[in-house]
Amino acid sequence: MERQERFENMPKWEKMDKDMLANIFKKLDMVDVIMGASRVCITWFLASHNKTIWNTIKLNDFDSIVLDNSSNPHLQDNNNARKHLYNLKEILIEINKFSRAAPVDFFFNVNTNVLVEDLEIISNGFPNIRKLALRIQKIQNLNSFASSFSKWKNLQTLIITKITKDGDLNHELKAIAENCKNLTTIKVAYALDQELANIIVGKLPNLKSLSFRSTSVSVEAVKSLIIGLHNLKSLNLSHCVFTKRCNNGMMLATVGISPEDKSTILSIQKLETFKLCCSECTICGDVWNHPLNPQYHSNIGYKQWETDEMKEFEF
């Protein structure tokens, strides 16, 4: 009897303060809020709509279940066979309902292939995005891709990669630059050649921070960027392989920059921050362990995607 009274006097979960519930929900994985907590009772459902939960959307955790990468099905459910896989589109539509235009930061998992249809959902639902991390594949409809980016007038920071066997990132980057005039901070997880450097200089003259971390970069293209981008303050070339054309036309590639190229770059640069690796760099050893397939595909790819020597690219 006494025990029953004590039980009845205990505060009930559904009577918990909504702000307190929202603070707890912020610690949960997005998918657990959408598919779990919000479905418990009406109080929890209402608490799930608190805008502060949705300011940052991070679909970056392998446990967050949101992977529908048909080209790499083995990446979907690596270590957790018991978890249910939700379709990305389904999750985006649900986030849209709960967040009501609240998101300002949106980070995709590097293994999640984001399609043009997915971009349409988030650009229509979340026009206030300022920071975005995105992996794309070959874009079939460039107009629709550009139209999604045209909604993001406040986009300032972009982390982007493209997984493709052919083609380049040039058309997509051009479309983004033409539509997002406030973009000042970019991390491109893609090889830097002269053509890409020309697009960046021509279309993104206001760029302040740039990172080509852990990729292959042409020394000449780096020089073009530093000379051409008058507002550039920070450049991260950590863990890069540097390519250079020799007098006989042959292309040379080396891990780490040569002292001669380093001093040429330093002599033209007016940067506040310029990051290169030291010779004993352990990350370089990991990144370039598989020289034929080095970028963001190895076991450490996931970790490399969300880290950077420059704080503005971390998430």
Kindly state the number of chain residues that form the binding site for Zn ion, as judged by CB under 5 A.
5
Closest CB to Zn ion among 227 and 283?
A: 283
CA atoms within 13 A on the CB side of 14: 6
CB contact at 8 A, 106 and 129: yes
Q: How far apart are CA 182 and CA 197, in angstroms?
A: 19
174-233: which residues touch Zn ion (CB under 5 A)?
Answer: none
| The token pair that represents 36 in the structure block | 């779990």
For Zn ion, which residue of 158, 159, 257, 277 counts as binding (CB under 5 A)?
277
Q: Could you give the maximum distance between any two Cα atoms of the chain, in Å?
A: 94
Closest CB to Zn ion among 162 and 239?
A: 239
Q: How far apart are CA 283 and CA 300, in angstroms?
A: 9
276 binds Zn ion, rule: CB under 5 A: no
- Site track for Zn ion across 232-271, x = CB under 5 A: -------x--------------------------------
Stretch binding Zn ion (CB under 5 A), from 119-127, 128-136, 246-254, 276-284? 276-284
Least Å distance, CB 287 to Zn ion, is 7
Closest CB to Zn ion among 155 and 217?
A: 217
Closest CB to Zn ion among 51 and 290?
A: 290
Phi, psi dihedrals of residue 165, rounded to the nearest 5°? -85, -25
Sign of CA dihedral 26, 31, 34, 37: negative
Closest CB to Zn ion among 232 and 276?
A: 276
